[in-house]
Structure 1
């Protein structure tokens, strides 16, 4: 009707990367845990699963934020300038796709949240390197890949530096879940936000403009108070990203 303005409420569109199984099988499936999509919806976002392909620019044009999920595989050490020190399960198709998405999102200053393996890939895309195997490379390491569900908290983390994006105090301690055997090494391109008691890096954020954050635990389970802080911050930045794009 003339003279009536309809206010459209935009839910930030969050692209979520799935895993893939049996790549050579005629009935290959994309797989992703439901709680990744559910937590995006509960936090005020609109989740989209991203099938692999070369349409990276089209995906990024349609999205307001990018969530790189975890996975039970490793990143090829060649991608971070190391030689493999043991045999690893790698997924080149997935890593190639996610790497292109992360690099494209970084170029656009699009908000990125990397979870577990996704944090490790974010670090690699920013120029960092990885600890290939925590148990054999970190003296006195805690158990970071326990034989228990992700819904159970495993160890503490301590906030080690002020964040550009979150209101957290240095010295804060949170107990988080943990499902990983590799970790991120320090790098000038990102700041370490949190450490576990054994010195393993548990959270990072890029020093460049834009929200590019990685957490080594799994906030989609909602185990710790810090999980809501991370997810709310991600979705807030995705909304702001959409508003900036719309104002151009």
Structure 2
């Protein structure tokens, strides 16, 4: 009997409201691509029945976790979420579990493998583009350029595409095993992938909010890898 791949999604957590929150865009994107999404609570270990892991966007990561003191421009941190996502991301990479990291999720993946991030791209990276858009989340506001011989090259017909942009942090140095998949015109890393895992891809934009063919292909590739993992696991 064929069953849909089960995709665990890491939600946000509010200390003030004592609530878990998750945008329905992530859920709908997984369902549209053929998966069965479930929410992973922050105190849980990585469930053994998962076929894929989605790390979502959100607030800043504690700079102490990547060996730095906080800059004045750093935002609110979430220790519970940081600890959970670092733990489950490391476990997923070790298991070769298909994983897609979005915005903050890409940064978590990179840090887990020893990489670094800019706490504020305006201060530390000298960015020349507007990376926190004032436009609907579904609307792309700057270009990215795909690197040769990457998963995105295989997925998309064009090497240049337009994405939304909602971040003030970004990957700086790459973690072990990661390569750059795409950059923006000002040189910032916009996508990474792990060269040794079946599917471990991070993107700095929010594909779940963009209803384009290219973003659909990204989620479809993620679910295809999850289905293959499910089959191998059985």
Quote the residue 1:49 is aligned against: 39
**How far apart are the structure 2 equivalents of 1:64 and 1:140?**
37
**Structure 1 140/101 Cα, relative in aligned 2: closer, same or farther at 3 Å?**
closer
Whole-angstrom CA distance in 1 between matches of 2:217 and 2:117: 26
The structure having more radius of gyration, on CA atoms, is 1
Cα distance in structure 1, aligned partners of 2:19 and 2:106 = 24
Contact kept in structure 2, 1:76 and 1:90, CA below 8 Å: yes
* Counterpart Cα distance in 2 of 1:149 and 1:177: 9
The aligned counterpart of 1:161 is 148
Name the TM-score, length of structure 2 as normaliser.
0.93
CA distance in 2, matches of 1:159, 1:165: 7
Pairwise CA distance, 1:168: 4.4
Q: For 1:103-152, what per-residue CA distance to the aligned partner results, in whole angstroms no more than 9, with x for missing partners? A: 11111000010000000111101111001111122224211112222111
Q: Is residue 159–residue 168 contact of structure 1 (8 Å, CA) maintained in 2?
A: no
**SS of equivalent residue, structure 1 residue 9:** coil
Determine the structure 2 residue equivalent to 1:4: none
**Aligned residue for 2:107?**
120
Query: Would you say the 8 A contact 1:165–1:211 is kept in 2?
Result: no
In structure 2, C-alpha distance between the alignment counterparts of 1:165 and 1:108, rounded to whole Å: 23
CA distance in 1, matches of 2:231, 2:128: 44
Structure 1 length-normalised TM: 0.88
Aligned residues, how many? 232
Q: CA RMSD in A?
A: 1.8
Q: Provide the residue aligned with 1:75 in structure 2.
A: 61
Instruction: Name the SS of the counterpart of 1:63 in structure 2.
Output: coil
Paired residue for 1:105, among 64, 69, 92? 92
RCO comparison, higher one (Cα < 8 Å, 6+):
2
Shift of 1:83: 2.2
CA drift of 1:197 comes to 0.2
**Alignment partner, residue 85 of structure 1:** 71
The 8 Å contact of residues 57 and 105 in structure 2, kept in 1 or not, is answered as yes
Q: Does the alignment pair 1:18 with 2:11?
A: yes
Q: Which moves more between the two structures, 200-209 or 170-179?
A: 170-179
Per the alignment, in what secondary structure is the counterpart of residue 232 of structure 2? helix
Alignment of 1:188-207 (within 5 A): 188-207=176-195
In structure 1, runs of 5+ residues without a counterpart are: 1-7
| Distance in 2 of aligned mates of 1:177 and 1:225 | 14
CA distance in structure 1 between the aligned counterparts of 2:220 and 2:200, rounded to whole angstroms: 14
Structure 2: give runs of 5+ residues left out of the alignment: none
1:225 CA displacement: 3.7
Alpha-carbon distance, 1:24 to partner: 5.1
Partner deviation per Cα, 1:25-73 (whole Å, 9 max, x = no partner)? 5xx21111111001100110000011121x314x1x02100000001x1
Distance 1:236 1:165 in 2: 15
Aligned mates of 2:134, 2:208 — CA distance in 1: 19
